[in-house]
A and B are shown apart, each in its own frame.
Chain A
Amino acid sequence: MEKGNKVNPADETRGPSKMPEPRRVTISELRDRLKNGDPGVWRSLEEIADDEEVKAFLDQEFPRHTAPWMGEMDRRQFLRLAGASLALAGLAGCRIRPIKEIVPYVKAPENLVPGIPKFYATALTLGGYATGVLVESHEGRPTKVEGNPEHPASLGSTNALTQAMILELYDPDRSQALTRDGRYVTPATFESDVKARLRRQIATGGDGIRFLSPSGSSPTVERLFARLQERYPKLRRHYWDAVHRDSVYEGARLSFGRPLEPVYRLDRANVIVSLDGDFLFEGPGSVRYSRDFADRRRVRKNSPAMNRLYVVESTMSVTGGMADHRLALRPSEVEAFAAALRSAIRDGASGSDAHGAFLSAVAQDLIANRGASVVIAGESQPAAVHALVNEINALLGNYGSTVQWIEPVVNPESRLESIRELTADLQDGKVEMLFILEGNPVYDAPVDLQFGEAVRRAGFSVRLGLYEDETSARCRYHIPMAHELESWGDSRAFDGTASIQQPLIEPLYNGVSPIKLLAMLLGDERSEREIVKETWQLAGLGGSAFDDVWSATLSKGVVPNSAFVAEDVSVSPFTAATSRASSSLEVRFKPDPTVFDGRFSNSPWLQELPKPFLQATWDNVMMVSPRTAERLGIEIDLSAVVVGGLAPVAELTVGGRKVKGPVWIVPGHPDDTVTVTLGYGRELAGRVGNGAGFNACQIRAQEGSWFAPASLALTGEKAQIALTQHHYSMENRGIVHEMEIGEYGHEEHDAAHEEMSLYPDREYDGNKWAMVIDTTLCTGCNACVAACVAENNIATVGKDQVIRSREMHWIRIDRYFDDLDNPRYVHVPVPCMQCENAPCEVVCPVAATTHDGEGLNMMVYNRCVGTRYCSNNCPYKVRRFNFYKYTLYPGTWDEETPVTKLLRNPNVTVRGRGVMEKCTYCVQRISAARRRAKKEGRPIRDGEVVTACQAACPTQAIVFGNWNDPNARVTAEKTEPHHYVLMEELNTRPRTGYLPRFRNPNPALKEAR
């Protein structure tokens, strides 16, 4: 009676009633455990510790979900609440059927049938390099990005960033009006102001005009600049990219005397060596390279052979995770390795240093594959490494076969040099008019330039940007920029292939494109379309048949025969002395795998993607190796699992500048190196990105743009990070199958064991949908997850909810390690298994999840009452529950901003609170194909249904189709000798199967890995 009002129903933060005692494990204890026991593969260090309490905690379906009632409760309180729930449930059932309206067109657009999506070919750029895409549009609303199969940089696939650009288009935090000094002004005010000032510049030849922009490859922009330069001959253009490729071009200058761009033909390479280059994930052409790489790695009955990949790297990269042999070095040590490799190949000298065995094995393998090998250097390595690698490739005769050199697609000027000059001019007061087109240099320019201060010294500054961000805050005018999906344009891919970009929608927020702005400065009143069209007419596209070729080009998405031709090169040997490796701890900067250089900071889709290897969301961390962590005195706090990822905070000092952030141990990370990713710690990113993570740009100076000597010290504080690596544990029950290529076909997988059941087998006489995922090809790049989010209206939940293990991704990528210091990695994407004997179905009290005649495990949202029994009974942990109305989450993303509703796929239900959901094998796509096939009176063709994850996958690791069709690709994959399903012993008979991770180790390095 006297109790009862102490109840705090909102209290779910306290977790289970019994908090385990904090228990710490040192890393050396973990090492002992690994040496003595055989834990097989594992997902986190805490898992190796094998702590009973942690295990018991993780065994729960929703570890932090189901906090028991923490308050006191008596009978009356209970009755009161029970009564209230009953009454409210009854109320919720009452509704008046509202009359809805139908609003038809006044004048229907030509060729538009409401309900039938249209696809438009265009291109989206990152770092200036285009990826050809087909954008799905429903009644004029772009909803989904697919790769353009005709485009060389895509071949039908995309990466996660390209998938998320559609959300960037709708982002309600994008700037929406033209401002001067933070106040709204009319475009006319701006126009008359800028034109008056430009007129004054004519006298001096435009000496005071400066443009700053990131890399771009648009021929139209170049043409407009050329016209501007005619009028203002002394006008200067500057470039800055936080993720710059200075060393690539500088390396080419050293080797060939002029800057050139490499294009790799990985489909011709038997042996690939990467020196700190993440060619499968970052940089131009990575999606295409992934496909070419994977095509030589697909181990099948008719082609049981693989290429071999060696990776020497100074951080954790997606490419490194795919390596057959990986050597983790400090960033400054790579140069010495490259020099030694050059000597080994040129002179046959065997390496004598610490990595001698590795190095000579690599060298011999390369020599044995002359003309069919390739060495790739990463953009983070200095020009010397690139020059050395250029020489190695020449020595190996790889030019013309696996490596081609083309004219640079983007301007090859040194970015560091360029922004340094601009800053100096600004400080000297030479800049009268500064135009910053795109980019965010105030945030990401080298910190020692103090670019933000310098911008203020420009007499007049104009910023064109998608967001009113850090840079806009320092400029006089801010002009909202039109998104690439809102404007006409053109751009080139990694190999020079040009695409015309066409708008999918009118600018949502009054944005103007760079082309429009430049045209305005030129006094050119024509539309962007006309200007772009003129560029190509002048370029001679199609000759006299221009109009026809133009339309064909637009619909195809690729300008015919526009790829750059390979240049003839002769390489001059690299003679300069290589610089010595530093002996201190080093910091290694890296673009973030999800938010890149910060341009996607405000994208909740990307923020919530678990970063490869780290499985962290919504934050960046300082990655260190277990040995470095040991030296720092970091112990593994097992109770952190229960609270959800507590990381020790450290202070990273580089050249006297400091930044604080959480430290996280990643097995396999190079020792004495700290990897930090760019793009976090934004102040003016928007409601989603503000305040997330720490700003690595604050310690990134001109010297050491990619790596620098640093020191790291623990501060004693703790920070909570939202890691997903403990979520949805399958308790290591034979999930991962690893084999060497030599074992292919030798040992038949024990799939033939007798399956017994008391029940008669179901007959599937029509379609029998099935999926096979090849773990040999999965790079863990997250493209499938992002594509799934985009296709299936999956909600983002925010950091707080991820910590509670409530992320909604229907497909997750589990990655496994097998060693602390030199691990091998396996990525296992886990969508719903679509079990034939589905454990979830039998426990649903309302038959909201049932089986259909094609073997799909159906989830009917409108029937679900949210008992979560199904999820509890799912051995694969693939069901996701809406604990809140996540469509409104993270709080600022819906109600006030209905614009994001335009993004939703109209063929997939938007799930409400209290509803279970899961992967459906993209049933809306199956349904569409079925209706189409029925109308045409034929069966569904193989390859007609492509799931969203399958379409996006750069390596085509996912195959989906009708298992009853003997000629279907999926049937062939299912009959592969090593095909396996997860937890076969449970007899759930999953339709999703896996092919093992094959590796192709060098026999000479068997022991050394």
Chain B
Amino acid sequence: MPQVFNAKSNVLARATFLVAGLLLVVIILAGMYMTPYTHRTGIALDQPAPFSHKHHAKELGIDCRYCHTGVEEAPYAGIPATEVCMTCHSQIWTNSPLLLPVQESYLKKIPLRWNKVNKVPDFVYFDHSIHIDRGVSCFTCHGNVTEMNLTFKTNAFEMLYCLDCHRNPEEFLRPTDQVFNAKYEAPPNQNDLGRRLMEQHAIDTKQLENCWVCHR
């Protein structure tokens, strides 16, 4: 009986194993890439002081803009100066050990060094103020921070994520007075509302897709 597999098949077999092995590696890498681990979504970072958005923004009801003062006029929302923390904390919780780093910063005039949770790459020029002005809520991109004890990233800010909205803003826009409202719920006719808002703000999706809107 002749051999079912001739000598050449050895090569084929080896190649198959090799390809399969490589494929496996690729699948594993791709899988790793897609996990929250890579983008650090859903993972709270260590911070010098364990600041809780849930406590401040939800339980105490402090507006986003009390601390993030630049958000309506500047590209950066702004991280509050130690001084801003101390407006309240010079009076309350003055003895809490959790606040020690903040007090130290204030007294020694050494800035706090927070770890950046949400970031876009250096070649992306993102402007908070224009998004707020058009009715893109803080919570649309940052997730519901009012439910976060320690702050974490909700969305991986990759280009497709931005383009989703730049192409179809009607799915996301809110009336401008609801931008900072964490309890806002999109109405069932969101798309109609969104389209109306787009008209009102003269939002042109053709322009929003231009590379130079974000890259320059």
Where the two chains meet, the residues of A that have a C-beta atom closer than 8 Å to any C-beta of B are 97, 99-108, 113-116, 766, 850, 852-854, 856, 858, 860-863, 907-909, 920, 923-924, 927, 931, 934-935, 937
B99 at interface, CB cutoff 8 A: no
The answer to whether B119 touches A100, judged by C-beta atoms less than 8 angstroms apart, is yes
Q: What residue in chain A is nearest B203 (Cβ atoms)?
A: A934
Query: B130 contacts which of A102, A104, A862, A931 (Cβ < 8 Å)?
Result: A931
Per the bound structure, the CA–CA distance linking A861 and B114 in Å amounts to: 30
The reply to whether B212 and A105 contact each other, CB–CB distance below 8 Å, is no
- Chain A neighbourhood of B62, CB < 8 A: none
What is the CA–CA distance of A920 and B109 in the complex, to the nearest angstrom? 42
Residues of chain A within 8 A of B216, CB atoms compared = 907-909, 920, 923-924, 927
A860 touches B82 (CB 8 A): no
Q: How far is the CA of A231 from the CA of B112 in the complex (A)?
A: 52
Query: What residues of B have a CB within 8 angstroms of the CB of A853 in the complex?
Result: 204, 206-207, 210
Distance in angstroms between the alpha carbons of A655 and B88 in the assembled complex:
79
How long is the Cα–Cα vector from A269 to B109 in the complex, in angstroms? Answer: 61
Is residue B125 within 8 Å, beta carbon to beta carbon, of the partner chain?
Answer: yes
CB distance from A92 to the nearest CB of B (A): 15
For B105, give its contact among A99, A106, A766 (CB under 8 Å). A106
By beta carbon, the residue of chain B nearest A763 is B206
Closest chain B CB from A166 CB (angstroms): 21
**Most B C-beta atoms less than 10 A away, residue of A113, A766, A861, A934:** A113
A858 to B210, CA, bound (A): 8
Complex contacts, A107 vs chain B, CB 8 Å: 81-83, 109
Across-interface contacts of B50 in A (CB, < 8 A)? none
Which chain A residue has the least Cβ–Cβ distance from B119? A100
- Is B73 part of the binding interface, using a Cβ–Cβ cutoff of 8 Å? yes
Question: Chain B nearest CB: distance from A968 CB in Å?
Answer: 19
Whether A858 lies near B212 (C-beta < 8 A) is yes
For B201, what are the chain A residues with a Cβ–Cβ distance below 8 Å?
934
Which chain B residues (194-215) contact chain A, with CB distance < 8 Å? Answer: 201-202, 204, 206-207, 210-213, 215
Distance (whole angstroms) from the CB of A831 to the closest CB of chain B: 16
* Bound Cα distance A105, B215 (Å): 28
Min C-beta distance of B117 to chain A, whole Å:
9
Within 8 A of A (CB), among B101-129: 105-106, 109-116, 119, 121-123, 125, 127, 129
Cα A203 to Cα B27 in complex, Å, equals 91
Additional A-B contacts beyond A858-B212, A923-B216 (11; CB < 8 A): A99-B45, A101-B116, A103-B111, A104-B78, A104-B112, A105-B82, A106-B110, A909-B216, A927-B213, A931-B130, A935-B129
Question: Do A113 and B207 form a contact, CB below 8 Å, given A101-B116, A909-B215, A934-B130?
Answer: no
- Indicate whether B80 reaches chain A with its CB closer than 8 angstroms: yes
Which of A115, A766, A920 has the largest number of chain B CB atoms within 10 A? A115
30 pairs from A and B in contact (CB 8 Å cutoff): A99-B115, A99-B116, A101-B115, A103-B111, A103-B114, A104-B82, A106-B109, A107-B82, A114-B70, A114-B74, A114-B76, A115-B74, A115-B75, A115-B76, A116-B74, A852-B211, A852-B212, A853-B204, A853-B206, A854-B207, A860-B211, A862-B123, A863-B211, A909-B122, A909-B215, A923-B212, A927-B213, A931-B127, A934-B133, A935-B130
B116 touches A106 (CB 8 A): no
Cβ < 8 Å to A, chain B residues 169-193 = none
| A105 x B133 contact (CB < 8 A) | no
Using CB atoms, name the residue of chain A closest to B76. A115
Known contacts A853-B210, A861-B215, A908-B216, A927 near B125 by CB under 8 Å:
yes
In the bound complex, CA of A858 to CA of B78 (Å): 30
Q: Determine whether B79 belongs to the interface, using a CB cutoff of 8 Å to chain A.
A: yes
Tally of contact residues, B, Cβ under 8 A: 48
**Residues of A with C-beta under 8 A to B212:** 852, 856, 858, 860, 920, 923, 927
Q: A113-B69, A860-B215, A934-B133 are in contact. Are A108 and B112 (CB under 8 A)?
A: no
Please give, as numbers and ranges, the residues of chain A lying within 8 Å of B105 by CB-CB distance: 106
Asked whether, in the complex, the Cβ of A97 is within 8 Å of the Cβ of B75, the reply is no
**Contact (Cβ within 8 A) B70 A115:** yes
Shortest CB-to-CB span from A967 to chain B, Å, is: 20
> Does any Cβ of A come within 8 Å of B166's Cβ?
no
| CB <8 Å contact, A108 and B130 | no
The verdict on B40 contacting chain A, using a C-beta distance below 8 Å, is: yes
**CB-based nearest A residue for B115:** A99
A105–B70 CB distance below 8 A? no
Taking a contact as CB atoms under 8 Å apart, the answer to whether A108 and B81 are in contact is yes
List chain B residues, Cβ under 8 A from A909. Answer: 122-123, 215-216
B39 and chain A: residue at smallest CB distance: A97
**Contact yes or no, B111 A105, CB < 8 A:** yes
What chain B residues lie within 8 Å of A105 (beta carbons)? 81-83, 111
With a cutoff of 8 Å between Cβ atoms, the chain B residues found around residue A860 in the complex are 211-212, 215
Distance in angstroms between the alpha carbons of A909 and B127 in the assembled complex = 15
Chain B residues with CB under 8 A of A766:
204, 207
Complex Cα distance, B121 from A100, in Å, reads 11
Which 4 pairs of residues, A with B, have the shortest CB-CB distance?
A115-B74, A852-B210, A115-B75, A105-B81
B45 nearest in chain A by CB position: A99
Are B125 and A907 in touch, CB under 8 angstroms? yes
Does B113 contact A113, Cβ atoms closer than 8 Å?
A: no
Question: How far, in angstroms, from A937 to B75 measured CA to CA in the complex?
Answer: 18
Residue from the list A106, A113, A924, A931 in contact with B70, Cβ < 8 A? A113
- Give bound CA distance, A907 to B125, whole Å: 7
The CA-CA distance from A872 to B40 in the complex, in Å, is: 42
Residue of B nearest to A920 (CB): B216
CA distance A465 to B194 in the complex (A): 62
CA distance A115 to B115 in the complex (A): 19
Contact B79 A102 (CB under 8 A): yes
Chain A residue with minimal CB distance to B83?
A107
Residues of A contacting B125 in the complex (Cβ-Cβ under 8 angstroms) = 907, 924, 927
Question: Complex formed: what's the CA distance from A862 to B69 in Å?
Answer: 31
Point out the residues of chain B lying under 8 angstroms from A115, CB to CB: 70, 74-76, 78
B210 and A104 contacting across the interface, CB-CB below 8 Å:
no
Complex: how many Å from CA A107 to CA B109?
A: 8
Residue of B nearest to A101 (CB): B113
Q: How far is the CA of A101 from the CA of B116 in the complex (A)?
A: 5
Interface membership of chain B positions 61-91, coded 1 if the CB is closer than 8 angstroms to chain A and 0 otherwise = 0000000011001111011111110000000
* B146 → A minimal CB distance (Å): 20
A contact residues around B119 at 8 Å (CB) = 100
Cα A860 to Cα B201 with chains together (Å): 27
When A97-B40, A853-B210 are in contact, do A104 and B80 touch as well, CB less than 8 Å? yes
Closest to A862 in B: B123
Residues of B close to A114: CB separation below 8 A: 70, 74, 76, 78
Chain B CB count within 10 A is highest, among A102, A908, A923, A937, for A102
CB of A108 within 8 A of CB of B83, answer: yes
Q: For B113, give the chain A residue with the smallest CB separation.
A: A101
Chain A residues positioned under 8 Å from B113 (CB to CB): 101-103
Rounded to whole angstroms, the CA-CA distance of A857 and B41 in the bound complex is 35
Could you tell me the distance between the alpha carbons of A106 and B111 in the complex, rounded to whole angstroms? 5
Mask of B30-49 contacts with A, CB within 8 angstroms, 1/0: 00000000111000010000
B111, B123, B204, B216: which has the most chain A beta carbons within 10 Å? B216
Please, how many angstroms separate the alpha-carbon atoms of A275 and B116 in the complex? Answer: 64
Closest beta carbon of chain A to B59's beta carbon, Å: 23
Interchain CA distance A101-B40 in the complex, whole Å: 15
Residues of A within 8 A of B127 (CB): 931
- Are B116 and A100 within 8 A (Cβ)? yes
Q: Which residues of B contact A116 (CB under 8 A)?
A: 70, 73-75
Provide the residues of chain A in CB contact with B112, threshold 8 Å. Answer: 103-104
Closest residue of chain A to B130 (Cβ to Cβ) is: A931
A924→B213 CA distance, assembly (Å) = 9
Closest A residue, CB atoms, query B109? A106
With the chains together, A104 CA to B206 CA distance in Å?
A: 36
User: Closest Cβ of chain A: how far from B126's Cβ, in Å?
Assistant: 10
Interface centre among B39, B116, B121 (most CB of A within 10 A): B116
A934: which B residues are within 8 A, CB to CB?
130, 133-134, 201-202
User: In the complex, what residue of chain A is closest to B67 when comparing beta carbons?
Assistant: A104
Q: Which residues of B contact A100 (CB under 8 A)?
A: 115-116, 119
Q: Are B83 and A113 in contact (CB under 8 A)?
A: no
Query: Are B69 and A104 in touch, CB under 8 angstroms?
Result: no
